[in-house]
Amino acid sequence: MRFVFSWIVLFAIWMALTSSLQIQEVLTGVITAGIVASFTWKNFTTKGLRYLHPKRIFYILLYILVFLKELVKSNFHVAWIVIHPKLPISPGIVRFPTKLKSETAKLILANSITLTPGTLSVDIKDNMYYIHWLEAQNMTDEEAAQNIAGPFENLLIKIFED
């Protein structure tokens, strides 16, 4: 079962990367995925199948939309900061706790924060995030958590923790 699962996952990745339905591309993907799966199938688990539940897929798609919205919003905000004559920034490192338990969810949250302009994930220790932020001054940890991780954290809980 793990061999078949790994073959399917690797083939899906191949198809996503090539984005072609030409017979030679599909055949090459089937063969390549089979070869790689024969060497790596012991490292795959079927735990990943639980994320194919319709409710989780809905929250994954919602997460992508929220991330894209936050990405566009922060891009415009940072662009406004850059073109503003007074350059209104107050950089610093903020820290805040997370409610996430899954290491994968913590990693996705850290990467989402880093990919959003104006913020950079510096460290995660236990359940504390340390984030370099362009607007860190005059902000409590709770306010920083709500501004930085708020849009993402609740959705990640629904995806990974339920």
- pLDDT tier for residue 24 given thresholds of 50, 70 and 90: very high
Q: How many percent of the chain have pLDDT more than 70?
A: 93
Among 48, 66, 83, the domain boundary falls at: 48
Domain match, 34 and 105 both:
no
DSSP codes joined into one string, 99-147:
----HHHHHHHHHHHHHSTTEEEEEEETTEEEEEETB-TT--HHHHHHH
Q: Are 63 and 119 in contact (CB under 8 A)?
A: no
Average of per-residue pLDDT across 117-141: 85
Cα–Cα distances (Å) from 2 to 29, 32, 52, 53, in that order, read: 18, 17, 16, 19
Q: Report if pTM > 0.95.
A: no
Q: Tell me how many domains the chain contains.
A: 2
What confidence tens digit (pLDDT) does each residue in 62-82 have? 999 999 999 999 999 899 988
Domain match, 153 and 86 both:
yes
Among 30, 48, 66, the domain boundary falls at: 48
Domain match, 25 and 88 both:
no
Domain match, 147 and 69 both:
yes
Task: Copy the structure tokens of residue 54.
Answer: 């319709």
Domain match, 69 and 41 both:
no
Domain match, 17 and 81 both:
no
Structure confidence at residue 49 (pLDDT): 59
Average of per-residue pLDDT across 117-143: 84
Domain match, 25 and 42 both:
yes
Integer Cα distance of 146 and 50 in angstroms: 29
Domain match, 146 and 71 both:
yes
Domain match, 67 and 104 both:
yes
Domain match, 44 and 102 both:
no
Domain match, 35 and 85 both:
no
The boundaries of the domain holding residue 66 are: 53-160
Domain match, 82 and 142 both:
yes
